[in-house]
Amino acid sequence: MRRNRFALSARVFATALLAAASCCASSTLRAQERTPGAYAKSRWDQQAIDLAKLFDAVIDTVDKKFFDEARLKQIDWRGRANAVRRSVLSAATTVDAVRQINALLAELKTSHTGLFTPDDYQYYELLDIIDVRPDQSNLMSRRFWGTGPYYPGIGAFTRLIDGRHFVDGILEGSPAERSGLKYGDEIRSVDGMAYSPIAVFRGKIGLTVELEVRRDADGAPMRLPVPVIPIRPTTAFAAATEASARVIEHSGVRIGYVHIWSSNESNTFKAALRRFEPRNIVQERVLKSGVAIIPNQLGDAPAEVREMLTLPKPLDFLIVDMRGRVGGNVGVVGQYLEALDAKNYWGTWRPINRSDARMRVGPGDPQNPPFRGRSALLIDHHSRSAAEIMAYGYKRSAFGPVIGTPTAGAVSSGALTVMPGDLLLYVAVVGHEHDGQRLEGVGVSPDHRVDRPLPYAAGADPVLDTAVELLAKRAPK
């Protein structure tokens, strides 16, 4: 009994240390946010940005770096820029000027191209994922000295539909998930202020805010208290991917589930897969219970302890969810597919840039098949870039059913350039071909199309439900 108490006390002490460390980090960032200089920088839209310099810098950078010169000539890039320049320079606000510039960039009809502000999720995601050049290093020092790119948030993403903000993504293990926020919820306000994805949380890191949420179109709003934390994208995506790992029991079948939020490194996905190994499941049970196990006394242990130590049967199937928000690294996708044993997953890959340099990559070496023919892949319109290459390779290898809706058709590679006012311009500098065809503007279609309605969905996920049903039917009788 004394050993049990000691084990529990040790866990409580460790938890307290983690909480203290988190509190200190939050306090530091909160103080940093609230210094006059930092706050002024956070209100980018109230700075005096020279719109002429901003506009010209965008036009010149695209002219020099955009990989598809034929497309620039086709739309007469310089002519279009001259046509809209006066309107941009006379914009009433910088926000409106940025909107007009992005409308012009959209005429290129190419992904990985856009102008982003500190009120955009992508601003922080790109800074944290794309290699930082010297000009970006200066920006990092000005805005994030000593911390790396982060923004204040709760771990939820939203989509604007008809003037209303609906939750269309929640990081597993985040404050948003722990507070009960669900996919499809309409967020109406935060502490009585109109909701915005980032600006409404500024200055509140380490505090708890009150969200006014509507879960039903005709229902009364409810209030959810949610802590605000500093979110560094790569760290948050990795933590959510590992936290997403769980086992779904259905009709006597054990199905593993992992949600990959970003393909930046393979270790997190591999760690999530290791959590499904029977011995690791038992170890996790023991850690959660806080019970001290004495091997030579197991014969006298209570039945519930012996049951806890019983090895579960291996997974029958695995569901890999690629309905994330960020692409990632092509090489990492190859490692994912190797981990799942997708033989000849690559096909022939050729990058396309201004010099039209060609490089061919042959098929990967097959590994022992842990999930060959025993998995399903989930995709949607958020699956982009490296996630689409994952979907293409997975489908090409006939590794299992692909379920959901078509991917974004956003398969190119971009580079970042810092613009006046610390805005970020993302420009596609390389296109890609796979087996002689481009996925850009086309995407990957699922084998089984299943839509996931958003407004007031109350967390429903018919795509996942369909995958579970399909896999369960494939189980040996």
- Give me the pLDDT at residue 330, please: 75
The predicted model scores a pTM of 0.80
- Give me the pLDDT at residue 99, please: 97
- On whether the 151-230 domain is CATH 2.30.42.10, my answer is yes
Q: Per residue, what are the HEC states of the chain?
A: CHHHHHHHHHHHHHHHHHHHHHHHHHHHHHHHHHCHHHHHHHCHHHCCCCHHHHHHHHHHHHHHHCCCHHHHHHHCHHHHHHHHHHHHHCCCCHHHHHHHHHHHHHCCCCCCCEEECCCCHHHHHHHHHCCCCHHHHHHHHHHHCCCCCCEEECCEEEEEECCEEEEEEECCCCHHHHCCCCCCCEEEEECCEECCCCHHHCCCCCCEEEEEEECCCCCCCEEEEEECEEECHHHHHHHHHHHHCEEEEECCEEEEEEECCCECCCHHHHHHHHCCCHHHHHHHHHHHHCCCCCHHHHHHCCHHHHHHCCCCCCCCEEEEECCCCCCECHHHHHHHHHHHCCCCCCCCEEEECCCCCCCCCCCCCCCCCCCCCCEEEEECCCCCCHHHHHHHHHHHCCCCCEEECCCCCCCEEEEEEEEHHHEEEEEEEEEEEECCECCCCCCCCCCEECCCCCCCCCCCCHHHHHHHHHHHHCCCC
pLDDT tens string 416-454: 999 999 999 999 999 888 777 888 889 999 999 999 999
Work out the pLDDT band at 176, boundaries 50, 70, 90.
very high
pLDDT tens string 224-277: 999 999 999 999 999 999 999 999 999 999 999 999 998 877 788 888 887 776
pLDDT tens string 354-393: 554 443 333 433 333 467 688 999 999 999 888 898 899 8
pLDDT tens string 311-334: 667 889 999 999 977 677 777 877
Q: Where are the domains of the chain?
A: 151-230, 234-451+460-473
Work out the pLDDT band at 186, boundaries 50, 70, 90.
very high
- Give me the pLDDT at residue 167, please: 97
- Give me the pLDDT at residue 237, please: 93
Work out the pLDDT band at 475, boundaries 50, 70, 90.
confident
Q: Which fold has domain 234-451+460-473?
A: 2-enoyl-CoA Hydratase; Chain A, domain 1 (3.90.226)
